[in-house]
Structure 1
Amino acid sequence: MTKHSIRLNALVKLGIFFKEYYEYAKNNPQLDLNSNPWFKAFDETITLAGHKNGWFTPDNILFSIKTWGELLEHTELNNWLSPYDPGNNSAKSVAVIMAGNIPLVGFHDFLSTLITGNNIIMKLSSNDKILLPFICSYLIEVEPSLKDAIEFADGKLENFDAVIATGSDNTSRYFEHYFGKKPNIIRRNRNSVAVLTGRETEAQLQALGEDIFRYYGLGCRSVSKIFVPKDYNFDLFFKAIYPYNNIVEHAKYANNYDYNKAVYLMSLFPILENGFLMLKEDTSYASPIATLFYEKYNSLAELKVTLENDTDKLQCIVADGFTTDEIPFGQTQRPSLTDYADNMDTVEFLLKL
């Protein structure tokens, strides 16, 4: 078997493990006395990840695992890689500096690096240092040859041929200074928006709640702002998202809600709120936790021009019939393998090294 086939098969086995673990975790694991020993280890890993980062709830980690389990299938992987020729790629060492805002946010870079035959040196975020090392230990168990292809770096990054770095606008300048002489992909802040017309169904607006509240709005694919017509009726929106009201039971989210509400009220900013989400009229794209910005538009044609001019600030546009590359309501946190962050083709970059 080729190196490519060996790695692909190992990743498919990981996908099977994810799917089986998800079913185990959802079906009362206390009763499953004969379960895979890796399941108990994964239980402990997920608990530890939640202790280290309070935003990493079991529900959100399981959502991420389930999503990746559906993607790590032979058909999905082969369809993704069919436009490329990863089979004869000579291995390079790729340093990957990962964000830690949502569980396994750097997994696509990890997957892309391994599937292209390269070796990976990972610099993990302090917010997400638990999950990926466990997953790598499982992968090495099912395919020992991967041990030489996977490395974690705690200190200074050394002996690498290329860099993939994800961070903020501020850290990107640091990345460019230190890594600019190497082939690189350096990602910056991006946000996601939704365009509403007032003709959305209740089901579409409820699905939009998934785009807003999944991962507590911490992802770049999380909708942080909506655009609405001038006469928009927010009552329909608030009614549709009410099923997400228990999000405020999460202590860190509730603290952010209370704090930001106090700031807005003391600053005399007008807000709309329903006890678990605040809507504030604002021209910015990045809204604080528990806040959704909104902006009114005069015409969809004008709005389209505005968003096209701001392409480098946007990750996703959620809409129905607004633009060719829009994402349906409720689907921002279910990206396909070809949905590259910042629209930079990671596989093509890695194969050209």
Structure 2
Amino acid sequence: MTKTPVAVLGATGAVGQQFVRLVHDHPTFALAELVGSSSAGQRYGQAVDWIAPGDVPEAVRDETVLSTDADLQAEAVFSAIPSSAARQLEPRLAKQGHAVFTNASAHRMDPDVPLVVPDVNPDHLDLVADRDGFLVANPNCSAIVAVTPLKPLLDEHGLRRVDVVTLQALSGAGYPGVPSLDATANVLPRIGGEEDKIETEPCKILGRREADSITHRDLSVSATATRVPVPEGHTIVLHLDLADDATPEDVAHTLATYRPPEQVADLAASPEQVIRVTDDPDRPQPRRDTYVDDGMGVTVGRVREDPTGTVKLVCLGSNTVRGAAGCSVMNAELAVERDYVG
């Protein structure tokens, strides 16, 4: 099988490193180009301050980092650049015929850009079926973790309202990230711009695909986003106003038995089990559960009844793998399977 050549934009950053880690030895993709701004012209091994698991892959250590205005040859592009840069660069690459899979927020809510979590709304990817070049976005890191259990609950029980509180890891702020005096033994009660993303993006993800657009789900979502002194893994507390009389036991069963469509389950980056439900009262924990299924799974625990009559639970997932690079890689794998790339 001929591998599809791919480029990574923002290759030296925290999410860019995860892209490099995930695709440097991938069965479908061949890592062809590494792109950066301040690191352009340097060898990758010298330019990167590697914080991803393991070491810098030997195969890319001596690769020269290209500038963002380089004429890229790769058919598919993974983007981990800031939204300010993505706003103009990503559409330009799509117009040049590249398939762009982005982690940036700049175009997530554009009507013609699918916002995809493959094991939640794979049909939304079909918006790009007839395009030579296109842009596919993955959602905010916390939104990805949250919608993973919300999807089966919506399908099985219906949802009227969701209240969300996030305890987000320091790596979600990028590298070098939050200043040490703010991060050490402290909790930041607000993350600028984050709550709006968590309140709006799930309505698009859980919406209905039309011929050339997405009709957003009519769902009330209220979010509070905080930053906590944890290196990796976003913990999210969900209070669920379900449309039926489901008990906590019903909810736990629905989540534990959820399976994505077969085509998605067979993707190389797909986790063995998308949602793992634990009855351990002290789980999930970032230290113990972030890298379930190589960071692509979501762990759910503390499923219980709320005194108000609703059901509440705690879920956790990797913010740099499932919540960022891993989701984009799965989107690209699915695009290849559907012959939209390659």
* TM-score of the aligned structures, taking structure 1 as reference length: 0.36
Asked which structure has the greater CA Rg, the reply is: 1
Question: Greater share of helix residues, 1 or 2?
Answer: 1
